Structure 1
Amino acid sequence: MKRLFIAAFIAFGFSSPALAGHCPKDVKLIDAALTQQSNAKVQSLRDKGDTLHKAGKHKESLATLHEAMKILGVKH
């Protein structure tokens, strides 16, 4: 059981930076779509997602950014 916990901890440690690297890409996709279609709610979600990313809350950031992308019809 101890080995399983250690393996899970190590796996999470390696996956967290990968998730962190995805947020800026999503922000750029949203920015590109926003130039074509201005939307206050999407802009608000984009800003919130970027703020969450900078605060290190990548899971919440991705959820927020994906919501904005869904509204715009942008696939990630």
Structure 2
Amino acid sequence: MQRLALALALALVAAPAFAFHCPADMSKIDAALDAGPKLSEADLARVRQLRAEGERLHAAGQHQQSVDTLAEALRILGIK
């Protein structure tokens, strides 16, 4: 029972951390897009799609999915 309580507590503490990570990643993507990255039109469209999807997921409270989606956009942009 104590392990279950601990696991639940950790899950509740971790959720806000993901929530704060999403806006930071979106800002990095926006800055890179504003700088005019040298990407193909297909990659640029994909980054924009992933950025929009990441924001939608963040707003829906699906922070891990948002972080994963935004990470793919950052990877395409070459941002670590």
TM class by smaller structure: over 0.9
Deviations along 1:3-41, one digit per CA (max 9) or x if unpaired, are 000001001101100111100000000001112226111
User: What amino acid is the match of 1:53?
Assistant: H
Name stretches of at least 5 consecutive residues in structure 1 with no aligned partner: none
Which position in structure 1 is the counterpart of 2:55? 50
Name the CA distance, whole Å, in 1 between partners of 2:79 and 2:52.
17
Post-superposition shift, 1:63?
0.5
Report matched runs for 1:6-45 at 5 Å. 6-35=5-34, 36-37=36-37, 39-45=44-50
Q: Report the counterpart of residue 68 of structure 1 in structure 2.
A: 73
1:40 partner letter: A
Between the aligned residues of both structures, percent identity stands at: 43
Q: CA RMSD in A?
A: 0.9
Aligned residues: 74
* Unaligned segments of structure 2, at least 5 residues: none
Aligned AA for 1:45?
L
Distance in 2 between the 1:41 and 1:11 partners?
Answer: 34
4+ residue segments displaced more than 6 Å: none
